[in-house]
Amino acid sequence: MNKRLFGGAAAVLLAILTIMSFTAVVADPPPAAAGDSGGVKIGFSLSGGLGFINGGDFNTFIRDWNRYIADYNDFFRTDIMTIDWKEMKSMPDFKGEIFARFGRRLGLGLGLEYIKKSNPGKIAINFASSSREDFDTYYVDFTQTYNVTDLYDQILTVIPLTLNLYYHLPIGRMGDVFINAGPGYYWGTLKTDRTSTLNNDLLLELHHPDGSPWPPHFKGETRIADYDQIHVTSRALGFHFGAGFDFNLSGNIALFGEGFYRLANFKEWEGTDLFRSEFHQKVGWWMESAWEDYSSYDHSESEQLKGRLWHMDVRDSEMNADYCHIGFFENGPDEDSPLVKNIRPAEINLNGFSFRVGIKVFFGL
């Protein structure tokens, strides 16, 4: 609620400032835009916006998980599997840039961006069954509950260092329009925390033929918890091109907006997986509300692996379909498996259209 209120207030404030600036400009037109009189101008800009991304294997993996669960429930005519995990279609983008403008037309800028977004997901299996079996002197009620929950907490962070070549077209005292293009060097970090829990409870209740309980009953419980902390990084070269406009507020300050298309594909994600597993099992005789006699087993283990993210298409013979999978491996997936194909390093891209708005401050030399 607070975030939505803050976002709405920020939007209203920006609208008010824009209207006030436009009114001031109409009443008292600003001097010529930076560089219109020739010479060299230097300055800096601050901006923020939103980028729409393709995502590559990152989004394909999530999309195929949704497809698999829909296929599974349809094939087995059940609803025991559920998923709440959406693709990452957009990411907020903040940028600072220092630039120089040479005369009326040409400019050069060096920018640093910060792009970050979390993408949580949940996959669950919830199953319950009950049955009864009759014998000569007693009967048994059999009940089982089985629950599995996988929680994914993903954070993708990208820091691009970009070089921009600008070409400006002045449109009088109000400002100018521009086109720009240039390369970029991208640092990427992907953190995935996965928590998987399994709870399986089994109860065999013995009863006399008249329905009265005939304890002790047989009971079993299993608890499994797995934790993965995957931290991988990658670097990539990219390219962008776009267009925008400057709206002068004064001789040294301008508002601007721009739209651009970005191409950046990370093809090598390497890092570590800190894995921890806990196992608990108890089976024995149950007296209505307490254990009478039982045996139990507890085990835990942890290890840290070095490796990389891999892509593969996994065949499900029952659904007769292939599904994209991304996994962390030390040495890569098993290439001899007949159910696995298209094995290669996982790719995550930021390809897509973006837009930004911001403010420029410039000075003459």
Q: What are the tens digits of pLDDT across the range 82-115?
A: 999 999 999 999 999 999 999 889 999 999 999 9
In this prediction, residue 243 carries a pLDDT of 98
Please give the Cα distance from 12 to 291 (Å, whole number).
Answer: 63
Give the start-to-end residue ranges of the domains of the chain.
1-29, 55-89+114-162+176-239+264-350
Please give the Cα distance from 327 to 332 (Å, whole number).
Answer: 9
Reported confidence tier of residue 289, pLDDT bands at 50, 70, 90 = confident
The residue among 262, 259, 261 whose CA lies nearest residue 243 is 259
Q: What is the pLDDT of residues 163-201, one digit of tens each?
A: 999 999 999 888 999 999 999 999 999 999 999 999 999
Mean pLDDT along residues 34-53: 83
pTM of the shown model: 0.84
Q: What is the pLDDT of residues 64-76, one digit of tens each?
A: 999 999 999 999 9
Least confident of 29-38, 295-304, 312-321: 29-38
Query: Has residue 36 got a pLDDT over 60?
Result: no
Report which secondary-structure segment, H or E, holds 25.
Answer: helix 2-27
Q: What is the pLDDT of residues 132-150, one digit of tens each?
A: 999 989 999 999 999 999 9
In this prediction, residue 38 carries a pLDDT of 60
In this prediction, residue 365 carries a pLDDT of 63
Q: What is the DSSP string of 141-180?
A: EEEEEEEEEEEEEEEEEEEEEEEEEEEEEE-GGGEEEEEE
Q: Is residue 20 exposed (0-12), middle (13-18) or buried (19+ Cβ within 10 Å)? A: exposed
Q: What is the largest CA-CA distance in the chain?
A: 105
Mean of pLDDT over the chain? 89
In this prediction, residue 200 carries a pLDDT of 97
Reported confidence tier of residue 37, pLDDT bands at 50, 70, 90 = low
